[in-house]
């Protein structure tokens, strides 16, 4: 076991950790991915199953990752090296580092779109009552413009590196304490405004009414995939953040708090979007283009629609930034811990390499036909979509499975529970047994099922 190292940096306390870790989990997965996934899967049934999987799979795996990080006080590779020396398990940590790097490369492209749409909202581009086809044309014009797509990605990467270079306390924690309260204020204001819209009742019924006929295997698997993706599991983020959490803090409380806020934000995003869609008569099953194509057609029909649009895309941009910060930190922590390289130089170097890897994804949305997928292309899917499938689906799922197996069967639930008891204050045997059972049996089985579902059906999340 390695003692806490002041030079490495730690969060100042549980508030800073919860805000930073919640920021990692609360990203486009909540504001962008959750609403369109819920919309595609019929609303209420999906939401109910999603909530169940957050409790039964998400929180147990989250606790496992945080325990690995805090017990080892190291990055994902170093963590497995400390807890399982002279074994192949550090390769699981390496998978997390690679997955985080690859996800950041395509995630930063989508994050860049939020900046572009924030600028469009501020200019009033959505105030002229645009149709769905006109909105789709606007979106295609933005993502199909090679110079603009690359520039927006670069802007987001610079913002991300600008935070990471200052370290844990002065960078991640300080900015999280500013960004996350601003995020919550915007979120609550938008949710409150949506609840006053004429379509609020229909939107809420769609989101929360449970229809058993909607409970299909794709809905169940989609909900499980959303639970894993939304909590940033399987890619080393929570191992890394857990390594910065002082041992005096209550680890289970912090983990449950992160999961609670992450889930609350996803539900509030649905409360913002679905009443607005039903007010405008838009299709809730708008798919991945929901916030970039369907929502712009809605703003003009709302009172103070431009202000709503500006606040909405500012919310998206903040959510994306808190996630890109955590993704980059996974990679930077590896080189700082294992190689002893200076943080600022590593942050800018890795950020630049990641930006270079992001360029094909930025160009694959129509700017370069050979990368865009489909007929006449070099690829069956766009370069961005292929990266999402390889790392956002397979990488996350496989990483989550290996982590649950490691804690459940290699390192051991007893060792993990000893770490969880530090700073917890009380010893609650009932939840210890429940968590151990879930992480050893329920989580691996559930994750294997989603992995088999992806392989068998070719449906991705």
**pLDDT tens by residue, 137-176:** 888 899 989 999 999 999 999 999 999 999 888 888 888 8
Task: Assess whether pLDDT exceeds 60 at residue 64.
Answer: yes
Question: pLDDT tens across 16-58, in order?
Answer: 888 888 777 777 778 778 888 888 888 899 999 999 999 999 9
Over range 423-449, report the average pLDDT.
Answer: 86
Coil, strand or helix: which one is 367?
coil
% of the chain residues with pLDDT over 70: 93
How many residues can be counted in the chain?
Answer: 461
Question: Do 22 and 219 form a contact (C-beta atoms < 8 A)?
Answer: no
| pTM to 2 decimal places | 0.91
Q: How far apart are CA 191 and CA 184, in angstroms?
A: 10
Question: Do 37 and 198 form a contact (C-beta atoms < 8 A)?
Answer: no
Q: What pLDDT score does 300 carry?
A: 73
Over range 296-323, report the average pLDDT.
Answer: 83
Q: Which residues lie closer than 8 Å to 350 by C-beta, 6 or more apart?
A: 101, 328, 331, 332, 335
All structural domains of the chain with their residue ranges: 15-457
Q: What pLDDT score does 86 carry?
A: 94
Over range 434-448, report the average pLDDT.
Answer: 95
Q: What pLDDT score does 2 carry?
A: 39
Name the token pair of 305: 């629609």
Q: What pLDDT score does 178 carry?
A: 84
Q: What pLDDT score does 4 carry?
A: 41
Q: What pLDDT score does 285 carry?
A: 67
Please, which pLDDT band fits residue 96 given cuts at 50, 70 and 90?
Answer: very high
Q: What pLDDT score does 437 carry?
A: 96
Q: How far apart are CA 181 and CA 189, in angstroms?
A: 12
Residue 122: Cβ within 10 Å count: 13
Domain 15-457 has CATH 3.30.70: no
Name the token pair of 189: 């204001």
Question: pLDDT tens across 226-256, in order?
Answer: 888 788 888 899 999 999 988 888 899 889 9
Task: Assess whether pLDDT exceeds 80 at residue 284.
Answer: no
Q: What pLDDT score does 243 carry?
A: 93
């Amino acid at each position: 076991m390695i003692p806490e190292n002041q030079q490495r940096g730690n969060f100042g306390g549980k508030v800073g950790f919860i805000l930073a870790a919640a920021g990692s989990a609360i990203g486009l997965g909540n504001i962008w991915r959750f609403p369109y996934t819920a919309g595609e899967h019929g609303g209420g049934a999906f939401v109910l199953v999603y909530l169940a999987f957050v409790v039964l799979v998400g929180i147990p795996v989250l606790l496992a990752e945080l325990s690995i990080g805090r017990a080892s006080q190291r990055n994902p590779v170093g963590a497995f090296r400390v807890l399982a020396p002279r074994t192949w398990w550090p390769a699981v940590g390496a998978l997390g580092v690679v997955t985080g790097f690859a996800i950041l490369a395509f995630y930063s492209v989508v994050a860049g779109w939020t900046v572009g749409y924030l600028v469009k909202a501020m200019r009033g581009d959505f105030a002229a009552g645009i149709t769905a086809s006109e909105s789709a044309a606007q979106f295609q014009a933005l993502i199909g413009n090679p110079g603009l797509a690359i520039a927006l990605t670069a802007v987001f990467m610079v913002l991300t590196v600008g935070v990471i270079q200052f370290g844990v306390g002065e960078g991640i924690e300080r900015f999280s304490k500013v960004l996350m309260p601003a995020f919550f204020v915007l979120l609550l204001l938008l949710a409150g405004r949506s609840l006053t819209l004429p379509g609020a009742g229909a939107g809420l019924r769609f989101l929360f009414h449970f229809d058993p006929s909607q409970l299909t295997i794709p809905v169940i698997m989609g909900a499980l995939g959303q639970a894993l993706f939304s909590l940033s599991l399987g890619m080393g983020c929570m191992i890394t953040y857990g390594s910065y959490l002082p041992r005096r803090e209550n680890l289970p409380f912090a983990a449950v708090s992160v999961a609670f806020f992450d889930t609350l934000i996803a539900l509030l995003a649905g409360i913002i979007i679905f009443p607005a869609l039903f007010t405008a008569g838009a299709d809730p099953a708008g798919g991945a283009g929901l916030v970039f194509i369907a929502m712009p057609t809605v703003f003009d029909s709302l009172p103070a629609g431009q202000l709503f649009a500006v606040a909405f895309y500012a919310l998206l941009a903040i959510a994306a930034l808190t996630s890109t910060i955590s993704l980059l930190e996974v990679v930077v922590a590896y080189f700082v811990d294992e190689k002893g390289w200076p943080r600022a130089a590593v942050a800018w170097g890795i950020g630049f390499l990641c930006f270079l890897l992001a360029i094909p994804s930025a160009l694959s949305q129509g700017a370069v036909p050979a990368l865009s997928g489909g007929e006449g292309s070099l690829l069956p899917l766009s370069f961005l979509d292929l990266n999402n499938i390889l790392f956002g689906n397979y990488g996350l799922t496989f990483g989550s499975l290996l982590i649950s197996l490691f804690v459940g069967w290699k390192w051991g639930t007893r060792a993990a529970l000893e770490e969880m008891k530090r700073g917890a204050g009380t010893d609650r045997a009932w939840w210890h047994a429940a968590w151990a059972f879930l992480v050893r049996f329920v989580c691996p089985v559930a994750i294997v099922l989603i992995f088999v579902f992806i392989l068998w059906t070719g449906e991705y999340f």
